[in-house]
Amino acid sequence: MVMALSDLMWEPDEGWRDDAACVGTDADLFFPVGEDEEAAAAAKAVCEACPVREACLRYALATNQTEGVWGGMTGPERRRLRRRLRERERRAS
């Protein structure tokens, strides 16, 4: 379970890419036009079963990927996650 933004912000070794479930899939699937839920659903279905989902999400957060589906989350979802974690940290300090 993610407890703090700093828990997510380390950049994992890029070796995780070797086990990515999306290797060989259409990259456009992961960068749909518009980032609404419907457009991202197919990519999220691939991420759901991906063995490196957490590393992928960490990478996206650590490298500030604003577009596309990474770690099963769209850009807007990752922004909301950051906000929630920052708010949690602010309240805890």
Contacting positions for ligand SF4 (CB under 6 A) = 20-22, 30, 46-47, 50, 52-53, 56, 69-72
Minimum distance of ligand SF4 from residue 25's CB (angstroms): 8
Of the pair 38, 90, the CB lying nearest ligand SF4 is at: 38
Minimum distance of ligand SF4 from residue 15's CB (angstroms): 12
Of the pair 61, 70, the CB lying nearest ligand SF4 is at: 70
Q: Mind spelling out the 3-state secondary structure of the chain?
A: CCCCHHHHCCCCCHHHHHHCCCCCCCHHHHCCCCCCHHHHHHHHHHHHCCCCHHHHHHHHHHCCCCCCCECCECHHHHHHHHHHHHHHHHHHC
Joined together, the tokens standing for residue 20 give 């990515």
Of the pair 81, 88, the CB lying nearest ligand SF4 is at: 81
Minimum distance of ligand SF4 from residue 82's CB (angstroms): 17
